[in-house]
Amino acid sequence: MELDPDNFRLNQPLPAVVPARPRRRSPRQLYLGGQPPMAWLARAHTAGKAALATGTALWFKRGLQGGKNAPIRVDSSLRRSMGLTHDQARRGVRALERAGLLEVHRGGRGRCAEVTIVAARPPHECSPGTGESL
């Protein structure tokens, strides 16, 4: 049995390939503003779930402020953005403060706390010269 190449030819020409357009972000989708350093996120993760969720919400709100390192109010809109209760946000702020990732300015009874994000140094076991990774 011989193979005939004519049996494998297409009877119709191939369609023209249309290059795909790059996808645009929908204006309704929200994105984390700025680029939180991995060392900061790693320390927030080790501080607990509430700390990581609160920290992510704080980075989001910082991005809405134009990336300025101005004080951020820990109010109900911040808590709602991550689905946190008042107690979870309070525990998260305290854990991030203990981890050295936030400076907290408490306004007194009934007032929202204002926090400033502090840059985190990488932990000594993850220093760039050791070849280890997170």
Domains and CATH numbers, the chain: 38-123 (1.10.10)
Over range 5-25, report the average pLDDT: 71
d(CA 115, CA 104): 4
**pLDDT at position 104, please?**
93
Q: What is the C-alpha radius of gyration for the chain, rounded to an integer number of angstroms?
A: 25
Residues with Cβ within 8 Å of 37's Cβ and at least 6 positions away in sequence, in order, are 119, 120
**pLDDT at position 40, please?**
92
The pTM of this model reads 0.67
Both tokens assigned to 18: 């249309």
Confidence label for 134 from pLDDT (cuts 50, 70 and 90): very low
Q: Which residue has the tokens 């990488």?
A: 122
**pLDDT value at 28 more than 50:** yes
d(CA 134, CA 130): 12
